[in-house]
Amino acid sequence: MKTANLQEFGTELHHTSVLALADGSFRWEYVLGAKAPEGFRQVPEDLRAQAFSEHGGVSLSMGDAGGTETERAYSVQGGCSAALLLLLDGADSHPELVPLLRGLGRTLRDLHAAPLRAEGHPPPPGLTRLGLWLDELYPPESGDGKAQRFLRAQIGEGRWEALRRWRTELTSSEGAVLCHGAPRLGSLTVSDDPYRAVLLSGQDVGAASPLFDVGWVIGELLDLRWKLGGRDGGAAWTHLLGAFSEGYGKPAGAEETRAAVLRILLHLHDFLVYVGWNAVEFERYAQFLKYLVDRIAAMENKEGSE
């Protein structure tokens, strides 16, 4: 079957190609990057065998047969991601994403509620990378080590210790479930029917608090809203955040916001390590993280006084 390369992008963590197929469908191909600390996760048999309902037009795909630790492929009807739509046009231009974000919330809720064994599975790779960074376990002169020292000095010891504590809470075995591990908006593939999407899954599966997946989505929405703040009004982003939380069945409180901040921190880590150093972006993210950590502290103080 003839193909045409539609999109190609990536970092030294992983590379993505989107191919348009002759029959009108699309093939998303992921290849492990040169600096990736570990391979793609193998999908547990009980996860692949589990039947998940489609919610709000959103379904899960665990990938085509034959996926390896270095390559994965997905055959879907969508050649564009929710993240790309938001980056190109902003939230105001895509109200159709509101029901899809609601469906994404319900899909993750079903995944977390499925009778799947979390025992014996390591944490999702992103959570592991973040822990190594926060706990200063990278060599001091490595790119990771240098970035860690710079950020710690920028945001201060108190905020850094808060981030370490929040990350530890997400890896607690109590309440751990088998998580998607990286429910990226860039992996939420949208078809020609704007009310149908497929979430590409399986590469990052691991055991963690369900808050890790929830915080990932909320963190990406907060990150995109911050980046595109001059383009949109706040209402459209509030609708997207509210729809996701409604779909998941739990309002975004202090716990969810803490997990969202960790997702933003992981994004900064991965950019610095797998894309390259950018002093301007580093300073902007440091200020953003300071604001968010302080905001959570205020939320927690308010909740504690009620």
pLDDT tens per residue, range 234-287: 889 999 999 999 999 999 888 999 999 999 999 999 988 888 878 888 888 999
The token duo for 270 is: 């991965």
Query: Mutual orientation of helices 234-248 and 97-113 as an angle, nearest 10°?
Result: 30
Position 148 scores a pLDDT of: 84
Which whole number is the average pLDDT over 222-230?
85
Alpha carbons within 13 A on the beta-carbon side of 104: 36
Amino acid of residue 297: A
Strands (E), the chain: 3-10, 14-21, 26-32, 58-61, 71-76, 78-81, 177-179, 188-191, 197-200, 206-208
What does the pLDDT read at residue 114? 93
Instruction: Compute CA distances 126 → 41, 136, 248, 275, whole Å.
Output: 12, 16, 21, 16
The pLDDT of residue 82 is above 50:
yes
Residue 204 in tokens: 């990052």
Q: Which of 69-78, 211-220, 251-260, 291-300 has the lowest mean pLDDT?
A: 291-300
Is 2 a residue whose pLDDT tops 60?
Answer: no
Helix or strand or coil: residue 241?
helix
pLDDT at 1 over 60: no
User: Worst-scoring range by mean pLDDT, 101-105, 142-146, 167-171, 291-295?
Assistant: 142-146
The whole-angstrom separation of Cα 53 and Cα 201 is 15
pLDDT at 202 over 80: yes
pLDDT at 62: 94
Share of the chain above pLDDT 90, in %: 65
Q: What is the pLDDT of residues 14-24, one digit of tens each?
A: 999 999 999 99
Rounded CA-CA distance 291/160 in Å is 13
Residue by residue, DSSP assigns 78-128 as EEEEHHHHHHHH-STT-TTHHHHHHHHHHHHHHHHHS----TTPPPPHHHH
- HSE toward the beta carbon, residue 99, CA cutoff 13 A: 12
Residue whose tokens read 């710690």? 152
Residues paired with 15 in a beta bridge: 10, 31
Convert the pLDDT of each residue in 116-137 to its tens digit: 988 889 999 999 999 988 987 7
Predicted local confidence at residue 163, as pLDDT: 95
